[in-house]
Amino acid sequence: MKKKTTQTTTETGQISIHTENILPIIKKWLYADHEIFLRELVSNGVDAISKLRHLSSIGEYTGDVTKARVRVSVDKDKKEIRVSDDGIGMTADEIKKYINQIAFSGAEEFVKTYKKDDANSGIIGHFGLGFYSSFMVSESVEIHTRSYTDAPAAHWTSDGSTTFTIDASDKTERGTDIILHVDKDNEDFLEASRVKEILNKYCRFLPVEVEFEGEVINETTPAWVKAPSEVKESDYREFYQKLHPFQPDPLFWIHLNVDYPFRLTGILYFPKIQHEMDITKGQIQLYCQQVYVSNNVSEILPEFLTLLRGVIDSPDIPLNVSRSFLQNDRNVKKIAGHITKKIADKLNEICTSDRASFEKYWSDIAPFVKYGMITDDAFCDRVKDIALLPLANEDRFMTLPDYVEAYKETNKGEGDKTVVLYSSDKNQQATYLDLVKEKGLTAVVLDHLIDNHFISTLERKRNDIRFVRVDANVVDKLINPKAVTIEVNPDHAKVLTDVFKTVIRSEKMKISVENLSSTELAAKIIVTEESRRFKDMMRTMTIAQGKESTDDLFDDSTLVINAGNDIIRKILILEPTRPDLVKELAAHVFDVAALGQGSLTGPQMATFVKRMNKLMALIS
């Protein structure tokens, strides 16, 4: 019996869209925040005036446009919000075209029509959806409009469904009035204080005057839209205070003004950091044609640049229909790369032309520069040679190339690498810094939270250097760990090793007895640079996961006993006859070494103090 086969035929058609379902979706989901409706309506009014001004500039309109503005008013009793403009207006046919056809942008059509006249300048709208944001807060919306062509005025009204009515309007003046009949769920927008708050947030720098309660609320030509040559230093500082009131003045700034291959303006400020937590508080505001979009620019700029403050404005940054979230795009990457380069160029310029100021700024900008070097390879390549290293025992800075050039002979370590000595805590490591200085060596200070990563970045970029912390080894072996010291009597070494085995608190800790060039320290706990960095990394990970530190699991430390030290010599003398006292002295020497590493805990510190008092009593 033959099996029956079925044959699939090819069919084409059109997807069916139920228009009655579109508006409810737009009303509810088009914008994340309902307050956006006011930004969109005011922006439409600004566009209408910008279009009229353009027509006036090319002689297609001869009326007065100098006093044109957008007006916003609230009537709490009538539950109405009104947004009016003195702009280009619409005819009844234009209402059908621009309002009744969702996503048909009048701004885009205008730009295409007058493209040869550069009409794009100042035109905000892109998608033709902004008007419908009004239905997020309204039970119905009216439009009264009169075209600049003196065609009859028209009146449009809709309750947000797919039906509308158009009839004659009694409006006599050119322009458009949009009247929102606010629904009961959004009556908070009828409060004048709420409306003013929204206008100040989104419209404070619009290019056309916006009036509310008889007062113009915006600055039409903010500093970033002017040519850099037109802006004085005081203007930059004043504008910063408008963006970030009550903050200390910025250190310096960069004025962005690009026309090609994309349009980009803005001012980025380097803030004065008050404390380390401030490095997370940068705020750059994103604008599109002077309309506020967002203070989240993480999708435009590399993360480290978001530590800065200021404004970026570009009509070429692609937005989705809500203007609230940015899309990944080649333009975005180009803009980010350009801004990164401009920042690096500015830093190089200051370092080269005004080194004194650069050094003065360094403590504030160091976290930003280091974070940028760690996270952005291109930025790192541009600034790695100007990153400053403060010297531990001198009040001055060196760059890494300067340090290598100055100490490449005295600090030549294994593999002919130049060893860069550093301290992560000048107070805790003061003794070791003194020993380094006595040895004729120079250490730098790297004490920021991100310096471990910064060091690794520099070592990755330069294979001729190696960073070593001043307490990573005895001073004689900091540069060359294989350096030979004077041989210790084997019998003495065994006695001291046996004594100190009874007092160390870690089974994994090794003991080494050596004759050091300096007899100042009785003993020292050392952790190799590699082991300490690994421990620091594990400590950071465990803390981030909310777990207790597990340092003891990765203990790779060595207790180095200085055979030439007077206390160690005393221990050797007393060991045969006073074992109890020797144990106390050894425990004390060990705790002093632990104290130097910052690893003496509270209870251990209490025991240390008691023992010290006991030993002092014996001496007296």
146, two tokens: 């009169």
In whole angstroms, what is the distance from residue 453 CA to residue 460 CA? 10
Question: Tokens 């090794």 map to which residue?
Answer: 510
**What's residue 119's pLDDT?**
42
- At 231 the three-state DSSP class reads coil
Indicate the DSSP class of residue 151. P
Q: Please give the angle made by the CA atoms of 158, 164 and 165, to the nearest 5 degrees.
A: 105
For residues 227 and 235, what is the distance between their CA atoms, to the nearest angstrom? 12
DSSP string, 27-95: HHHS-SSTTHHHHHHHHHHHHHHHHHHHHHHTTS--S--TT--EEEEEETTTTEEEEEE-S----HHHH
Q: What pLDDT, on a 0 to 100 scale, did the predictor assign at position 23?
A: 62
If the chain, 620 residues long, is cut into consecutive pieces of 10 residues, what is the mean pLDDT of each piece? 56 57 60 84 93 92 92 97 96 88 50 49 49 90 94 93 90 96 95 96 95 96 95 97 91 92 92 63 83 82 87 79 52 86 95 96 92 95 97 94 95 92 91 90 93 94 94 87 83 93 86 89 87 75 62 69 93 91 91 82 83 77
- pLDDT reported for residue 611: 83
Measured CA to CA, the distance from residue 470 to residue 575 in angstroms comes to 32
390 contacts 444 by C-beta, under 8 angstroms: yes
Strand 388-390 with 418-423, pairing = unpaired
What is the C-alpha separation between 569 and 571, in angstroms, rounded? 5
The structure tokens 């905000």 sit at 124
Secondary structure (DSSP) of 529-549: HHHHHHHHHHHHHHHHTT---
Structure tokens at 558: 């060595």
Instruction: Give CA separation, 291 vs 103, 204, 222, 248, 607, in Å.
Output: 20, 8, 12, 26, 66
Q: Which amino acid is at 317?
A: I
Contact 580, 534 (CB under 8 A): no
538: exposed, middle or buried (Cβ count in 10 Å: 0-12, 13-18, 19+):
middle
- Report the distance separating Cα 415 and Cα 433, nearest Å: 25
Quote the pLDDT of residue 458: 97
For 456, how many CA atoms within 13 A lie in the half-sphere containing its CB? 13
Question: Does the bond joining 261 to the residue before it have cis omega, within 30 degrees of 0?
Answer: yes
- Determine the residue type at 324: S
510-514, strands of its sheet edge to edge? 510-514, 557-562, 523-527
Determine the Cα–Cα distance for residues 482 and 488; give it in Å rounded to an integer.
16
Structural tokens at position 22: 């579109």
- Calculate ∠ Cα 470-471-476, nearest 5°: 75
Q: If we measure between CA atoms, which residue out of 241, 271, 275, 276 comes closest to residue 254?
A: 271
Q: Which domains does the chain have, with CATH numbers?
A: 19-215 (3.30.565.10), 223-357 (3.30.230.80), 387-477 (3.40.50.11260), 490-619 (1.20.120.790)
Show Cβ contacts of residue 441 under 8 Å, excluding neighbours closer than 6 positions: 407, 410, 411, 421, 475, 478, 479
Per DSSP, 397 falls in state: E
Closest CA to 88 of 131, 133, 52: 52
Kind and range of the H or E run holding 524: strand 523-527
Q: Which residues, including other chains, have CB under 8 Å from residue 415's CB and lie 6 or more apart?
A: none
SS3 404: helix
Q: Nearest to residue 51, comparing CAs of 4, 87, 80, 16?
A: 87
Q: Please state, in angstroms and rounded to a whole number, the distance separating the CA atoms of residues 18 and 38.
A: 28
Return the sign of the alpha-carbon dihedral for residues 350, 351, 357, 363: positive
CA distance 364 to 181: 51
Strands 210-212, 70-75: parallel, antiparallel or unpaired by DSSP?
Answer: parallel
CB 512 within 8 A of CB 560: yes
Looking only at the bridges linking them, the beta strands covering 465-469 and 523-527 are: unpaired
If you count them, how many residues does the chain have? 620
